[in-house]
C-alpha cells in the first residue's frame, strides 16, 4: 500500500539562529559524545529511536557500511543519558563547504514527552556549529541542516522551528508503506 510522505528540509545559516531549549529539570540528563566509533552502538540507537516511526533506510547496511559511517572524519554521535540509560541521540555528518547535516535525531519512545528532545536538539545543533573546534581539518561550519517527515513524531517540526531552524524545501511523494520494525523485528507488532 502506498502512502503520501511529506519531507521538510530545514536549516540554520548562523550560530546566532540557534534558540536553545531549557534543559530538563534536575541533573538526571547528561549528553555525551560517543567517541569510540561503534557500528553496534550506532545501530542500536538507530533502531531504538526510529523503529516505531519507520526508520528503515539503514537497516540493510552491512556491518562494514555502518562502521564506515561512524568512522568518517568529523562524524559525531551525541547521546542523551537519563540516569545512565541511553534516552536518545543526535548524529552529525560533516559535508563539503562548511555544511553539517543533522542526519538523525530522536528519543527512544520511553523518554519522549519529558523535555529531553529540545535540550538534546539544542546541544546537537551547537555541536554542529562548533564541529571544526574538535576536527581542525574541517572547515568552519557555515550551515546546519536537517530534514523531518510526516512519519516523524507529532512534535518534531515544532521542536525544530523553536530551535531556530527555518524551512527551505518541501517534497511530497507517494511511497510504499513499510512495516514498523521496532528496535528488533516484532517489537512493536
Conformation bin of residue 33: beta by default, left when phi > 0, alpha when psi is -120 to 50:
beta
Give the domain extent around 104: 2-176
CATH number of the domain residue 66 falls in: 3.40.630.30
Q: Whole-angstrom Cα distance, residue 41 to residue 94?
A: 20
Determine, yes or no, domain membership for 188: no
Determine, yes or no, domain membership for 46: yes
Determine, yes or no, domain membership for 182: no
Cα torsion angle, 146, 152, 153, 158, sign: positive
Count of the separate structural domains present in the chain: 1
Determine, yes or no, domain membership for 185: no
Determine, yes or no, domain membership for 116: yes
Give per-10-residue mean pLDDT for the chain (189 aa).
91 98 87 96 94 85 95 97 96 97 95 92 98 95 95 88 97 81 54
Give the per-residue pLDDT at 155.
85
Give the per-residue pLDDT at 31.
97
Pairing of strands 2-12, 166-176: antiparallel
Determine, yes or no, domain membership for 183: no
In Å, how far are 33, 121, 143, 148 from 157, measured between CA atoms? 24, 12, 19, 7
Helix (H, G, I), strand (E, B) or coil at 113: coil
144 half-sphere exposure, CB direction, 13 A CA radius: 29
Give the per-residue pLDDT at 1.
83
Determine, yes or no, domain membership for 57: yes
Determine, yes or no, domain membership for 184: no
Amino acid at each position: 500500500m502506498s502512502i503520501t510522505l511529506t519531507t521538510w528540509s530545514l536549516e540554520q545559516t548562523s550560530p546566532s539562529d540557534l534558540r536553545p531549549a531549557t534543559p530538563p529539570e534536575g541533573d538526571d540528563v547528561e549528553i555525551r559524545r560517543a567517541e569510540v566509533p561503534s557500528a553496534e552502538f550506532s545501530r542500536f540507537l538507530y533502531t531504538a529511536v526510529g523503529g516505531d516511526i519507520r526508520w528503515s533506510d539503514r537497516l540493510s547496511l552491512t556491518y562494514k557500511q555502518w562502521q564506515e559511517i561512524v568512522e568518517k572524519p568529523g562524524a559525531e554521535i551525541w547521546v542523551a543519558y537519563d540516569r545512565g540509560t541511553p534516552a536518545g541521540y543526535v548524529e552529525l555528518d560533516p559535508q563539503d563547504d562548511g555544511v553539517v547535516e543533522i542526519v538523525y535525531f530522536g528519543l527512544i519512545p520511553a523518554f519522549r514527552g519529558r523535555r529531553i528532545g529540545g535540550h538534546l536538539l539544542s546541544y546537537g545543533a551547537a555541536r554542529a556549529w562548533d564541529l571544526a573546534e574538535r576536527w581542525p581539518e574541517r572547515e568552519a561550519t557555515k550551515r546546519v541542516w536537517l530534514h523531518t517527515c510526516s512519519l516523524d513524531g507529532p512534535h518534531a517540526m515544532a521542536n525544530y522551528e523553536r530551535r531556530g531552524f527555518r524551512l527551505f524545501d518541501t517534497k511530497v511523494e507517494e511511497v510504499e508503506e513499510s512495516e514498523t520494525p521496532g528496535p528488533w523485528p516484532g517489537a512493536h507488532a
